[in-house]
Amino acid sequence: MEIEFDDCYQAMETRDASFDGRFYVGVTSTGIYCRPSCPSRLAKRENVTIHPTADAARAAGFRACKRCKPDTAAA
């Protein structure tokens, strides 16, 4: 199931944990990917890419966030 970017960004804005595992957020300005509910500062829309899996985010060149630990989060 594909999720629209606007829905993903809204989930990030509200830190909605129900989206954790449904997609991962890559931040181009930092090179990090996170869960939607990550407590870190919200990235600007133009710096956000959406990935269906953590593997896809890593394949795109992002590394896991040390704060929300998306590789260890329950899907």
The active-site residue out of 8, 34, 65, 68 is 34
Identify whether 34 is a catalytic site residue.
yes
Query: Could you please report the per-residue DSSP string of the chain?
Result: ----HHHHHHHHHHT-GGGBTTBEEEETTTTEEE-TT--SPPPPGGGEEEESSHHHHHHTT-EE-TTT-TTTS--
Q: Give the residue numbers marked as catalytic.
A: 34
